[in-house]
Structure 1
Amino acid sequence: MRITLQLDDDLFVDLQRWAEREGLTFSELVDLALRQSLASPDKSHRRFRQKTVALGLPSFDVSCANAADARLEDEEIARRVPGRG
């Protein structure tokens, strides 16, 4: 089958040189390279697995932490208002 490929100039030159070294036509080299690429398993796209660890229950009450944060924020705002804090 005949097709037209758009290749970067540097890639085309590299492929031509490779074909000459291997004693292949340009078409034979492209055919061989594509077949090998499709036949080999893709090792770069392995499934990612996140390792997890059970940490148990929180050692503090989050609502207390939120209240403390709000109180500190209120104190900071009061310090910035002229005549207060």
Structure 2
Amino acid sequence: MNKISTFLKFQHLCKLTPADHYDRPDLTVAHEAMREVALSINDVKRDLDTISSIDQIQSRYLFLFDKILIVCKPKVRNYSK
């Protein structure tokens, strides 16, 4: 089971469980914990995507002339024998 389906199942289970049921507080705590984990994972993934984008931009060269800006990246030479 992946993270999203587990999260959605807890959310659905919390909706269907009556407010006075003895398992309701535990289900709510578990649902909230899974939501926090999902948010944390999303934050880390977003940070990694941002770092990857910054690395790609930093590997480029900019040449500014009078009326033009040229963006270049280094040529990668992969020689295989």
* TM-score, normalisation: structure 1: 0.33
Structure with the greater alpha carbon radius of gyration: 1
Higher strand share: 2
Choose between structure 1 and 2 for higher RCO, CA contacts under 8 A separated by at least 6 residues.
2
* TM-score, normalisation: structure 2: 0.34
